[in-house]
Amino acid sequence: MMFSFARNVAAVAAGLVLVASVATAGLPDASTSTVPDNAIGHHSQPAVAGGNIFPFQVVVRDINSAPVAGATVALSFGNSGGATTAYNPQFASGNGVVVCPAITQVTDGSGIANFTDLYFGGFDVIEITANGVPLKMVEVTSVDVNNDGQVNVLDLAIFDLNFQNFPANYETDWNLDNVTNVLDLAILDLDLQAGGPVVATFCP
């Protein structure tokens, strides 16, 4: 009798797991989706500035690890005056669409949203979502590190401070090698030469 009861309990539990799996199939799931740890922001167009060294690619999957096509991936930046702010618009279709204060892109048939370049100012930790489901918190930083819509001597001063004294600070590690060095200065210079003094348009 006891063994029969145990089998019945196990069968019910297995059924509940199956129902839960079916119910959440097709919905974005943080545990199976892939999101980078960092995102780098530019100020000027990639055709001039050389483009983002590390495109930001998100792969959205459901609880069964199946790709979720047609999901809206959003990088949730702050409103104007916050620590980070998206530029509006982004320069090219592959960079996502600004739905202030977020930058969004819809996943393809493989569940991939590939932001080839991102344009924003400042640095912070922001939330990445898919169809409103939280996927991950990531560190983001821009060559417009002080978030004033320009790349200029103020950003260079922040770089120099970290280069000289705080090389492990992530806000000036624009090539993601875990240290502020001359390689990051080269990236800053690309955007500076490509139109850094031009004031970008922020999300409201």
pLDDT, one tens digit per residue, over 64-118 is 999 999 999 999 998 767 899 999 878 765 678 888 999 999 999 999 999 988 8
- What pLDDT is recorded for position 124? 95
Distance (Å, rounded) from C-alpha 3 to C-alpha 1?
5
Q: Is 129 exposed, middle or buried (0-12, 13-18, 19+ CB in 10 A)?
A: buried
- The DSSP 8-state label assigned to residue 117 in this structure reads -
Query: Would strands 133-142 and 38-41 be described as parallel, antiparallel, or unpaired?
Result: parallel
pLDDT in tens, the chain (204 residues): 555 655 554 554 445 444 445 556 799 999 999 999 999 998 876 544 455 566 899 999 999 999 999 999 999 998 767 899 999 878 765 678 888 999 999 999 999 999 988 889 999 999 999 999 999 999 999 999 999 999 999 999 999 999 999 999 999 999 999 999 999 999 898 888 877 678 888 887
Residues 6+ apart with CB under 8 A from 14: none
Distance (Å, rounded) from C-alpha 169 to C-alpha 161?
10
Distance (Å, rounded) from C-alpha 70 to C-alpha 60?
10
- What pLDDT is recorded for position 127? 96
Distance (Å, rounded) from C-alpha 188 to C-alpha 196?
9
Q: Cβ distance 151 to 188 under 8 Å?
A: yes
What is this structure's pTM? 0.83
Q: Residue 140's beta-bridge partner residues?
A: 39, 124
H-run or E-run covering 40: strand 38-41
Tell me the three state secondary structure of residue 32.
coil
First CA to last CA distance, the chain: 68
